[in-house]
Structure 1
């Protein structure tokens, strides 16, 4: 059973918070030793969308939100690499392969292990009664969710690619692709860490990206691999997000974001555009709820804001959000808020300003993690009777760190 500790600190909008330095760890890349936690130069060529501040971790009183750490969830013994919300539960995956489920209610939540012994868990998504997990050992695992009894382990449904999928490809030379100088394997296999997963809104398709530079599409009804985009990037792919209009965005250590679409009547995705502005590895992507704004976080400490311009697939740089002092590692969007986690051990809360102009405010800086913040997820605070009233909106934010802890934050955003 996991432990829940009350956070010792409350955070108030009138008191600026300051972060200290964090340790770096090396992020593996196929062709080089890129560090997603390295502090690299920012982007002087991209205009800032946030007003200048006297201190990089301060927030303006006029645009701040009340924020409070409700609890610290302890139970994992290694770094938290992935988080996902589904219904009344929070799922977490760690670097030692342990997967835990937690009750989302901070007042009564507890956690227990539902799977273990696998490779490092890089990403988690949920569809119906299935839990999909991406792993460092090149595999995607599918689990049957059963929360009817506490401490019950989930049943492993299958591992992707499935045995039948692999066997179907064995006997035709056209199904083999070169993965190293003297090695080939069938195209359904990932041959390096599977770094991120994304589901279509109807749950029918699962997208996976990998440090092997490929983008793959899987049918969730029978777990068949439908497509593999080989050499989708020139280096490891770290992130993937989907929009409801069919666009697929991938972010890579090659410093680019690529936009993909499957044209009507076609069986394969084609490249629509390449977004180039970051000067270092792209670690995280997030889309606004309507798909009109894309956020990308990288080792250059900046979050670039991309907005659709004209055609549905064409995006231009609106500017950058600055304030983090180290690499951006994770992003999450809820309503009109953007949450960012960084190697500087903080979570920042951003809100687009209303009215004319294209500017953002940093509403809060959440401090408390002892190591880099690797993953984030957030949702409206349904447990708070005042989650949406005349005074503002309330949200719950869950952050997972390399300190093996998950922190639960409550954010109360005043109405504009």
Structure 2
């Protein structure tokens, strides 16, 4: 029996076993009753929010996609489509062209809620509450999809079944083969070149899979003391994991395995979301303590990763409840919260300018659970104007489509 704290999206302060007595899939009916009085104090780090705005943003909600029968838990974007995953295991695909369709075609359904989605070429990869990872591929021009693989693959399962060395202790007096996740797969990430797939789980482990044939290459067991809620990989290969144990860990691949190079301890409650800047130098972390911490990666300058460390430079504050999701696009940071709102942040031209909250997007009637964003125009230059499309999924069973136009004053 597991006695780890529950990893419900709004931190219900029960043990996982207590929460599971109420529901087999204990995120199917998330509580929205978290009050400010029950939340931890904000971390003792300086605020980076600046009242001086060097930018302005015009925003408009273009559409609300409501054809979901349960809450929207994950989003992914391809060049032409938006994919949405729901807590009942259903995956839908929506064309991104305007006017937006009010009905999304069903890609497929697993037996557990969809926790994360990523796009790899012509394949869609989904992580599920039932401990599995599924690979979907379009089978013809009619926009129909087929599940072409379930991870771990049959070959991985068979080869590990008969070897005693393949079994690891996952709980007290319980063992499983190392290629299996034994709790919900909470997050997926891809390496910069798309050759590796990373999966994180509430079983406290994360695994690395070869994308060409989905063979499990490595499993980091007991990577954290509690459930892992988020995993991201920077363009230069650093892997970050955020956990219910309030920490973020930094990993780097050395030879054929990943090694821990830093443990970040500033949050006062479970870490729910991570995002990394496009140049890989800045990490953003969101937690139930209502703060978004900004970390900068430092090294000794001679390429020795053992000397790498991260320092927290401050926090983005403004949300009144738990941070549920984060996304980075160009020089923007977007955050979704249990307070039902999204916030759009932009870093100033000078380091002393900090970050400005350019907009608060309101319209959802329940917590915002997931985000996806795409930029059009010259968003890489902080002196240029550009626009982006933002997609937000919520516990109110809807996805909202927002258009942002960012201008430099």
TM-score range, shorter chain: 0.7 to 0.9
What do you get for the CA RMSD once the two structures are aligned?
2.6
Superposed, which structure 2 residues align to 1:70-85 within 5 Å?
A: 70-85=62-77
Deviations 1:234-257 (A, max 9, x none): 000000000121110000000000
- 2:347 pairs with one of 331, 344, 352: 352
Matches of 2:379 and 2:162 in 1, distance apart?
A: 61
Superposed, which structure 2 residues align to 1:27-46 within 5 Å?
A: 38=34, 39=36, 40-46=39-45
Does 1:303 find its partner at 2:292? yes
Matches of 1:36 and 1:331 in 2, distance apart?
A: 21
Structure 1 residues 101 and 387: alpha-carbon distance in aligned structure 2, compared to 1, 3 A threshold: farther
Does 1:209 find its partner at 2:204? no
Task: Name the counterpart of 2:366.
Answer: 371
Q: By how many angstroms is 1:295 displaced? A: 0.1
Q: By how many angstroms is 1:270 displaced? A: 0.8
Check whether the contact 1:205–1:218 (CA below 8 A) recurs between aligned residues.
Answer: yes
Task: Name the counterpart of 2:183.
Answer: 192
Deviations 1:201-226 (A, max 9, x none): 22111000000000100011111100
Q: By how many angstroms is 1:331 displaced? A: 0.2
Does 1:226 find its partner at 2:217? yes
Task: Name the counterpart of 1:380.
Answer: 375
When normalised by structure 2's length, the TM-score is: 0.87
Q: By how many angstroms is 1:342 displaced? A: 0.3
Task: Name the counterpart of 1:103.
Answer: 95
Task: Name the counterpart of 2:117.
Answer: 124
Matches of 1:75 and 1:257 in 2, distance apart?
A: 36
When normalised by structure 1's length, the TM-score is: 0.86
Structure 1 residues 61 and 224: alpha-carbon distance in aligned structure 2, compared to 1, 3 A threshold: closer
Matches of 1:27 and 1:136 in 2, distance apart?
A: 20
Structure 1 residues 117 and 251: alpha-carbon distance in aligned structure 2, compared to 1, 3 A threshold: closer
- Secondary structure of the equivalent of 1:118? coil
- Secondary structure of the equivalent of 2:159? helix
Task: Name the counterpart of 1:244.
Answer: 235
- Secondary structure of the equivalent of 1:159? strand
| Ranges of 4+ aligned residues in structure 1 off by more than 3 Å | 23-39, 60-64, 310-313, 385-391
Matches of 2:15 and 2:330 in 1, distance apart?
A: 33
Matches of 1:191 and 1:230 in 2, distance apart?
A: 11
Structure 1 stretch displaced more, 29-38 or 90-99: 29-38
- Secondary structure of the equivalent of 2:147? strand
Matches of 1:36 and 1:245 in 2, distance apart?
A: 38
Structure 1 residues 215 and 390: alpha-carbon distance in aligned structure 2, compared to 1, 3 A threshold: closer
Matches of 1:386 and 1:214 in 2, distance apart?
A: 36
